[in-house]
Chain A
């Protein structure tokens, strides 16, 4: 039944970036889902060789060895796979500018990567050039008087912390992960458990040096090239490559951590919202173990703040201390012996997780010396692995409860054990910075976020299964109107669904005006 003779060739090339063609199936097929390929095909444009040659003529040598390219085949998420045509370790802003000029000239996609801690393939190159920023990881200047630091964008936060600590200083806000890079974090936001007070990590940037998609070098701040400043911060890498950043810092203080335990998720969420609204703690967040074992953690930089909390707010919290909670929970399970597996799981978590959050070697006089190290070790130990599956919903205060409770039910469908991580994010920057970002447009004052984190526990799941889980979480966001922290890459099909065509098309027009060949981080948003 070979009908090759009747065959008339048709175009199988993919649409240009940002173009969503009319659907020939039916206008109401897959209602609301845009016709976007979220798992891109490899780019293999014919201009690659000319691009590499031009860079070589400027003493910029692209590494095309297979072994080097395969090092970048996926990101921390482990869900998206792709190969760059070549890899380049960035060494200077000037070098990055030359790369972007040549990329624009030859139409070669450039995918920028720092720590590679994206979870949706945002830093995975599907052909083209992988620009590894970790070659630019120096601390350039520490200003103790004005409490600022200037660093290169490829530096890991833990390296920055180490440099600052030598001067008795510390960063203000960074993701709970040691190997995130500063540039990557500023590009997407960066959430810490002090975000209810300080906003996201990007909000701590005073100035950034960027290379635009056409290769121009700009110094940006609220007073200089402000448009670029607020486009590049939380801009998902669409409008420029951050090569240097000036960040606010502070004097180092160890922190005191307290845990309160709840048998009910909603109650814990209500208390978290109360603490965030009233600025009652320096750090606050929720970590769940089971529906009936919810941990609200609060922490303080100073003894004064801690005392104020215990004087004013502790009595309003409905959570228990460890002993009180253990007694209540023990009674609960004694009366329900058929739930013995749940009880055993809880005991095991108590035995393994809690000591990780209070490691003796990171404590000094009962205070945690470096929260990032403590938390990121716990993150990798308990939630990390070959795949990191952490879909999230970022909401206004009003939608927070529904989003989390519905997401919690989805988690139960897919995994035996999981953790919810809830935190507030203060909105401190100008509104244009947060357009098309993890801060939902209807959030006022403080936005709330929840990560839904399955405990993969060494089990093997198909990517298909994990993607179905993520889709179901994100569908909640579409349904009730939230944003997401991770909406790029494989989840970019949700961008138009949650932000609407008008806003996305506005950003697409801006992107086209500054990146005519659409080469910088091509497959991430558009």
Chain B
């Protein structure tokens, strides 16, 4: 007879959103198992620059960060935007410097501090919602393991197996981007080591950045998944050398991640069905400049809270979660909302305030270059959707939940 492990909640994933959800559940007394497909601590490709809001969440819920969860330099002061017309806009983060997380250890530290039971080297295979509970199948590579839980939280990142289990055709319906970061020995690098650098340059790609990590310089590029990344990466290196005098040695480490940009831009989140809910980047939360960690923490916590309330009130989890998550949807989607950017203050660095201090000529250059940068995105037809969502937000005060899966 097959042995089936039981718990109140099974969380798929053991990253920051999973840790935040687990913290809420364990605090409230619910037996929680986190399934992680790799052995912990596991590597995680990520810039590691978390927003001050995320930093505060980590401290308040898991305690002060230990040295081991940080890369060198341990902190980032802000972000600098570069425009092809020559304008550079350095902006400090609102709350002071912010951590440069080593995701391998920060995620491990957080999930351990959550108090959840961790089953690592355990890959989620599938789940069947039985109405009163969910049966989960997982595998450690040699044999299958079976779990039974009242609720399941999918917190397994952008390429979520939980999402593809719930919505089999979903993966093919959205646009996927691949982000590759290469770490280079530094010969000469005049870029400020305390800043995260980002280029609004259509010729470089959709997402091009650089920053210092452990005495090496990261150069990252983001494109649709099927692009020739070697060529794109070399182009970025040439540009950095010609334009900024950055001379780098050969690449000696590479990290790749797949991202679902777009969901938070156009308010197309995925929150699950039945007794299975989805959170973090698996649900589509991604802040501007692709900072997903703080949104993962907060949305993960909300997923945990929703489950606690579902248990305590005996109400459908989807109803509770989709109501509670609206605050995080508003916050995250506001970052991409043109009206909020122009007239509000949705980010943790003051873009409009910094731009306002520049001359009229520089402002015009920035506007022109942003328009050029956005042009290649036109083929996704996100512009009209974003504008309509922004208008809806102005009128109703929120984003339309009917667009959520």
Contact = CB atoms under 8 A, between A and B. Distances in A.
Contact of B64 (A15, A66, A70, A73): A15
A39 B74 CA distance: 24
Nearest to A23: B64
Given A25-B55, A29-B99, A464 B66 contact: no
A338 to B, nearest CB: 14
Interface stretch (B22-30, B128-136, B149-157, B332-340): B22-30
A213 to B, nearest CB: 24
A464 B298 contact: yes
A101 interface: no
Contacts of A82: 27
Interface residues on chain B, size class: 35 or more
A31 interface: yes
Contacts of A35: 59, 63-65
B28 A10 contact: no
Contacts of A15: 63-64
Nearest to B320: A460
B86 interface: no
A2 B59 contact: no
A81 B23 CA distance: 10
B263 interface: no
A28 B302 CA distance: 29
Interface of B: 23-24, 26-29, 38-43, 52, 55-56, 59-68, 70, 74-75, 95-99, 104-105, 109, 112-113, 115, 121, 298, 301-302, 305-306, 308-309, 320, 323-325, 327-328
Contacts of A7: 41
Given A12-B113, A25-B74, A41-B113, A1 B43 contact: yes
Contacts of A126: 27
Contacts of A81: 24, 27-29, 308
Interface in A407-462: 459-462
Nearest to A66: B29
A15 B66 CA distance: 10
19 contacts: A1-B42, A4-B41, A12-B112, A14-B63, A24-B65, A25-B55, A25-B75, A25-B99, A29-B98, A35-B63, A39-B27, A39-B61, A70-B29, A73-B28, A73-B29, A81-B308, A460-B323, A464-B301, A464-B302
B141 to A, nearest CB: 11
B112 A26 contact: no
B59 A33 contact: yes
B39 A4 contact: yes
Contacts of A29: 52, 55, 75, 95-99
A3 B104 contact: yes
Contacts, number: 145
Interface string A472-503: 00000000000000000010010000000000
B55 A21 contact: no
Nearest to A29: B97
A11 B105 CA distance: 11
A7 B105 CA distance: 9
A171 B308 CA distance: 39
A469 to B, nearest CB: 10
Contact of B97 (A14, A28, A490): A28
B15 to A, nearest CB: 13
Contacts of A37: 59-64
B62 A2 contact: no
Nearest to A416: B397
Chain B interface, DSSP helix/strand/loop, else mixed: helix
A26 B61 contact: no
- Which of B62, B97, B109 has the most A CB atoms < 10 Å from its CB? B97
A460 B324 contact: yes
Contact of A26 (B38, B75, B298, B320): B75
Contact of A493 (B60, B70, B105, B302): B60
A522 interface: no
8 A-B pairs with least C-beta separation: A35-B64, A26-B75, A465-B327, A4-B39, A26-B97, A10-B68, A462-B324, A81-B28
A461 B327 contact: yes
Contacts of B63: 14-15, 35, 37, 41
Contacts of A3: 41-43, 104
A31 B60 contact: no
A282 B64 CA distance: 48
Given A33-B95, A42-B115, A82-B27, 10 more contacts: A3-B43, A11-B66, A12-B66, A24-B74, A25-B99, A29-B52, A38-B60, A42-B26, A462-B328, A464-B301
Contact of B70 (A24, A69, A464): A24
A21 B65 CA distance: 9
Nearest to B194: A26
A11 B113 CA distance: 11
A36 B56 CA distance: 10
B64 A21 contact: yes
B27 A30 contact: no
Given A26-B75, A73-B28, A462-B327, A39 B95 contact: no
A81 B42 CA distance: 30
B60 A39 contact: yes
A147 interface: no
A371 interface: no
B99 to A, nearest CB: 5
Contacts of A24: 65-67, 70, 74
A305 interface: no
A308 interface: no
A30 B56 contact: yes
Contacts of B23: 39
B115 A25 contact: no
B301 A463 contact: yes
Task: Identify which of A1, A3, A25, A80 gathers the most chain B CB atoms within 10 Å of its CB.
Answer: A25
Contacts of B40: 4
